Each structure stands twice: as C-alpha cells, then as structure tokens.
Amino acid sequence: MLAVAVTKPNQVEVVDVPKPEPGPHEARIKTEAACLCNMTDRKLIEGHFPGVENYPLLLGHETVGIVEAVGEKVRSFKIGDRVVGGLLLNTPIGYSSGWGGFSEYTLAGDYLAMLEDNAANAENGWLEVFEIMCVVPKTISVEDAVMLCTWREVYGAFEDFHLQSGDNILIYGAGPVGLSFVKFARLLGLGEICIVDRHAEKRQKALEMGATSAFSPGSPELQTFFEKQQRSLEAVIDAVGTEDIINAGLPLVKMGGSICVYGVIDTPNIRLDKHLAPYNFNLFIHQWPTRSRERAAQEPLVAWIEAGKLSYKEFLSAEFPIQKIVEGLEYVKANKPIKTLFRF
C-alpha cells in the first residue's frame, strides 16, 4: 500500500509498505483524507520533534477514513463506519512511527472494548491515543471530519486552560490552532479576543472569525495595546510555542491570570522572567491534549458543524492528492496556507 515516509530529516518520499492486519481490538481503516499538522508533522520532517530520532519514519496523524475490516473483539466500530484518527503505531519492518496516518490504510483501536476486556494495558501500548479514535456521523463532510483532529484538541484546551465566557484573551499565532481558538472563543462567548501574527492575510482571517483586534508583532499598535492592557487579561495563549512569547505575555495577565502554551516547545529549558508577572499566575503547557476532553469535544463540535456555525471552508486553503505530497510540502513552505488537505 501507499504511505508517506520521512527517510531522513527534510527528505520525504511516497513508499510502498505492507497493508496492516487488524488485531483483536482493532479496525482497519481505508483512508479518505488527511491534513498536515503544521506543528508536529513539520517538526518530524525537519528532525526537531523532541524524543524522535529514528528515521525513516511513517508520517501523519490527522486522518479520516472508512472501516474496511474489524478484529474479532471490536464492538465500537463496524464495516462502513467513518472513523477519525486512524494511525500506524506498529509500523512495518524498517520504519519507525511518526504516527503513520499518511498511509492508504491505518488501524484504529477500540478503546471502550479494550477497557471492558481488561486489555487496556502497557502491552497494548498507546492507549490514550486509542481513546480519540472515534466514529463520526456521515451527516458531516469528509473535510469537516478530518478537521476534527485539530478542533477537538483546541476545544479540549479551553477546559484545560479554564477559559470561560467573558474572559479577555490575547492569542499569539494565527495558524490553524490560533484561528480555532478565535473561532471557539467567539462561539463560547468570551470577551475581547485579540491576536498577533506577522501575516496580514491571517490577521484579516482572524477578524472575520470573530477577533476584536489583530496586530503585527513589533508594531506601534501592539505596543500601545501592551501599555493599555497591563494586568488586564485573563489569559495569553501562545499557539506557537516559544519562550519569548511566554515572557511577553507575563505583564499582560491579571492577578490569577494564565499563560497558556499550546504546542510542542523545541527547547529543553524555558527561562521565565517571573519579575514581569503578577504575584500569582498560572502557567499551562499543553504539549499533548487531554484525551478524555478531546474525545468529549467531538459531540459539541459536530453540533456546531451541523448547525452551520463551524466549517472547514474557513480553514482549508490548499489541497493535493497524496501522491503529490512533496509538491504539497513545497507549496506549504512557500505560501504558508492555514490548513492543507491530502486526498487518497
């Protein structure tokens, strides 16, 4: 079957690997579409993802597809179901897993059946990832279904970060994660929603999605905003993952406010300029989603999609067949689209 491999850092190829066979608690998924994760996939391609050193690896984790076969102990999936989150965690000989979702076929673990059968143990591995491999209704499009991979994580982060209706927030980064924070903040009734990004078209997109103001980094307007907002924000959200952004947010949050980091931080150590912060503040580092919250997020997100309040059309800005993954990655590097979809 076709799969996408990073053979060594910064070298991506389409390869042929054996079709996976589902285990007793697994379903085999025929992939329909997958999205590039601007953070994780990029770091895996470039060789910067913390803890991942073994190449070649099979890439991708934002996937949706149709159940083709099921193991004898599977109860949550049936043939013909559409499932989000299929991966290849146990990869063919010669490859390690960069989660393996950019493959013609993937596997989804039946988390609930594993719990019921007392098979949810270390020998079966990756249990927390199985928790978010879920059936999605066919009332929503394939494109909306694959966007759930991003949207569920961000929606879950609202609870992890304790964000509430009426909160005033500043978001750094108007990529798919930052824009999802904007969209959901508006739908959930937050107050002032401000965003910082260096790309004018992404700042405009944020305003269209509900941001109340948008700034370019280092601009006089942003400096004026900083001066006016000293100790006034409930949260500053870093959707990029850098030490500089964390420290820039410290003077802005009120007593008991929060600095919320969403994403993988490259550096092993973070220097915190605590003297810039209020006496009491929270620091949340959300490098990996809380899986139970991510799973629970699917129902309200599907309701928004079905009600016409949330659509992939605001996020997907480029599309390629998976066979043209190299061309697609070159396009992403040159044009910085919000979200890129690959069809199988």
Average pLDDT rounded to a whole number, residues 319-342: 96
pLDDT value at position 163? 96
> CA–CA separation, 82 vs 212, rounded Å?
37
The pair of structure tokens assigned to 222 is: 């942003």
User: What is the per-residue pLDDT for 125?
Assistant: 63
Encoded amino acid at 250, one letter: L
Chain position carrying tokens 């879950």: 156
- Asked whether the predicted pLDDT for residue 200 surpasses 70, the reply is yes
Torsion of CA 241, 50, 152, 141, to 10 degrees: 110
Q: Which two tokens stand for residue 327?
A: 């061309």
Is there a contact between 255 and 278 (Cβ–Cβ < 8 Å)?
A: yes
Q: What is the pLDDT of residue 146?
A: 98
* pLDDT at position 126 over 80: no
DSSP string, 33-86: EEE--TTHHHHHHHT-STT----SEEE--EEEEEEEEE-TT--S--TT-EEE--
SS3 content of the chain, % helix, strand, coil (to 5): 30, 25, 40
Token pair for residue 36? Answer: 């590039």
And the tokens for 274? 């605590």
The full 3-state SS of 145-203, as one line of letters, equals HHHHHHHHHHHHHHHHCCCCCCCCEEEECCCHHHHHHHHHHHHCCCCCEEEECCCHHHH
In percent, the amount of the chain with pLDDT more than 90 equals 86
pLDDT in tens, 36-78: 998 899 999 999 888 899 999 999 999 999 999 999 999 999 9
Average pLDDT for residues 10-24, to the nearest whole number? 97
> Which domains, ranges and CATH numbers included, belong to the chain?
2-135+311-343 (3.90.180.10), 154-286 (3.40.50.720)
pLDDT in tens, 238-262: 999 889 999 999 999 999 999 999 9
State how far the Cα of 141 lies from the Cα of 343, in Å rounded to an integer.
13
Q: What average pLDDT does the segment 316-339 reach?
A: 95
Residue 304: DSSP 8-state: H
Q: Residue 197: is its pLDDT beyond 80? A: yes
pLDDT in tens, 2-16: 999 999 999 999 999
pLDDT value at 135 more than 90: yes
pLDDT at 123 over 80: no
Each residue of 222-233: b (16+ CB within 10 Å) or e? Answer: beebeeebeeeb
- Whole-angstrom Cα distance, residue 73 to residue 70? 8
The Cα–Cα gap between 194 and 178 comes to 11
pLDDT category at 284 given cuts 50, 70, 90 is very high
Q: Which pTM was predicted?
A: 0.94
Instruction: Kindly tell me the number of DSSP H helices and DSSP E strands found in the chain.
Output: 10, 17
Write out the two tokens for 237.
């959200």
Residue 242 has a pLDDT of: 87
For residue 291, give the 3-state DSSP assignment: helix
Q: Which phi-psi region, left, alpha or beta, contains residue 266 (left: φ > 0; alpha: ψ -120 to 50)?
A: alpha
What percent of the chain stands above pLDDT 70?
Answer: 99
* Contact by Cβ (8 Å): 35, 150: yes
∠ CA 288-292-295, nearest 5°, is 95
The pLDDT of residue 127? 78
Instruction: Name beta bridge partners: 339.
Output: 316
> What is the average per-residue pLDDT within 111-128?
82
